[in-house]
Amino acid sequence: MATPKNPLSIVMPCLNEAKNLGALLPKLKELHAKAEILVIDDGSTDKSVEICQQFGVKVISHPHPLGNGAAIKTGARNASGEIIVFMDADGQHKPKDIQRLLDKLAEGYDMVVGARESGSHASKKRLLGNAIFNRLASFMTGQKIEDLTSGFRAVRANHFKKFLYLLPNGFSYPTTSTMAFFRSALPVAYIPIKAGKREGKSKIKLLKDGLRFFIIILKIGALFSPMRLFLPTSAACFLLGVVNHISTYAASGKFSNGTLLLYVASVFIFLMGILSEQISSLHYRNTDKE
């Protein structure tokens, strides 16, 4: 069997990162000279494209900003490697850590994520936010998730490309892809990394994107692990109904409308969970085929 021309592809979304690419690209070229390096220009207005061309790096440009997730999808579709490494173009991720991702992937994993150490987060608010997201996602998937939102990861291309249609165009592609791999029983591993301080202003809005991440976790949880979401909700409604039933009956000797509503809601939510579980199984029938 012939060896692929580019067994490794390195994909970097880029939006106005001219200040960082000049230092990052030479290091990548030195450490991974045989790798295919793809910079996805998401409508930059600075000299990002010119710098990439200066270093002989392939650039694919969007006519206007479509989002970080859109850039990831464009990169994945155009990558020729069997393994794809995704990393930021802002200098946070160290090129020397790529080999650590690849070494871990070679142990039999299908995705390896660079989990940022506590001191690597930009602020205590982001550290707390990520900790909450990690806990919630771990509950939804039944797997320990050490860093849900890290954009530094190595994946086997044939698996990752099956989930491209699920990925949003915004900043939450790591969330969706990680949970999709877990739901499909594709082994995921984590290695600790120290992310550097980015140069320039972050493009992530903490409150807006944090709320978006939370909603996406709930959506993906409902799609991938429905009963983990619907069953506790159903049980909570039922228990509230029991409490309301006892209190109202003790006070007035009657069966209240509120109690009936809670009991009915409990049954309906449980049935929705069963239906969602069946839909989820059908949804993954095709993605399980190689």
What DSSP line would sit under 57-125, residue for residue?
-EEEE-SS---HHHHHHHHHHH---SEEEE--SSS-S-GGGHHHHHHHHTTT-SEEEEEEPGGGSSSHH
DSSP-derived secondary structure for 201-214: --S--HHHHHHHHH
Write down the pLDDT at residue 119: 61
Write down the pLDDT at residue 283: 59
Cβ neighbors of 115 (< 8 A, separation 6 or more) are 146, 147, 150, 190, 191, 192, 193
The parts of the chain modelled with pLDDT lower than 70 are: 1-6, 119-126, 197-210, 212-213, 216-217, 219-223, 282-290
Write down the pLDDT at residue 1: 40
Write down the pLDDT at residue 203: 53
Write down the pLDDT at residue 215: 73
Write down the pLDDT at residue 3: 45
pTM to 2 decimal places: 0.78
Write down the pLDDT at residue 128: 74
User: Would you call 56 exposed, middle or buried from its count of C-beta atoms within 10 A (0-12, 13-18, 19+)?
Assistant: exposed
Write down the pLDDT at residue 229: 82
